[in-house]
Amino acid sequence: MGKTTQPKTKRGIERRAKILAAAEAGMGVQGVSAASIAEITREADTALGTFYIYFSNKEEVFRELVLEMGKVTRQMVAEAIAEAPDRLAAERAGLAAFLNFVAKRPALYRIVEEARFVDPDAYQRYFTSFGDAYAAQLRAAESSGEISAGDADVRSWALMGMAKALGDRYVLWDTVPDIDRVVNEAHRMICRGLAPERDERRDV
């Protein structure tokens, strides 16, 4: 496995970012095997040789994009829930932020999905690190009485699975996603579960 080279100049940082952006666009549409380095550098308006200053091969770029997805997603969700008054409000804000991110950068989202087959270790690290942080937040919310007691690990993976499936069905597959509708319904289920609402009249 090669090692990515981090540029030290502003020009180098910008050039490397252009290569990654071009790779995101190409791999997100064509897939990692179909996207070529020549196409990536052409899209980035970069000489072919310059590519190898920063990356050893195409697979290295792919892994970097998976890491980018993890970093950006965690930062985006953290910012979205920072002002939430409690955990349930944070769940709504986090889900909305994630689905809007999928709508904004669908190619990067698809790249992470392809990592399941292209780089299973990177795929597992991506979700495990996100799941561990999520579970820690749920444990803290349980300790403070904001949510009911339960298995935080199972809950974190269930909630991540819900967000991922909703991103597929209602963002990637829909021409005009209605994210508010999806978030409202999903959040209602997160807060109340699937049990029927109690009919208070029966207690009269």
**Count of alpha carbons within 13 angstroms of residue 180, beta-carbon side:** 0
List of long-range contacts for 76-84, beta carbons under 8 Å, 24+ apart? 76/101
Task: Pick left, alpha or beta for residue 16 (phi over 0 → left; psi -120 to 50 → alpha; otherwise beta).
Answer: alpha
Range of the structural domain that residue 117 is part of: 10-194
Residue 133 inside a domain? The answer is yes
**Collapsing DSSP states into helix, strand and coil, what is residue 182?**
helix
Q: What is the pLDDT of residue 3?
A: 52
Model-level pTM? 0.81
* CATH number of the structural domain spanning residue 57: 1.10.357.10
Residue 189 inside a domain? The answer is yes
Total tally of structural domains belonging to the chain: 1
Residue 105 inside a domain? The answer is yes
- Tens digits of residue pLDDT in 105-144: 998 888 888 999 988 998 999 999 999 999 999 999 999 9
Q: Does the structure show a pLDDT above 80 at 36?
A: yes
**Rounded mean pLDDT of the chain?**
90
Residue 2 inside a domain? The answer is no
Residue 169 or 69, more confident: 169
Residue 190 inside a domain? The answer is yes
Residue 187 inside a domain? The answer is yes
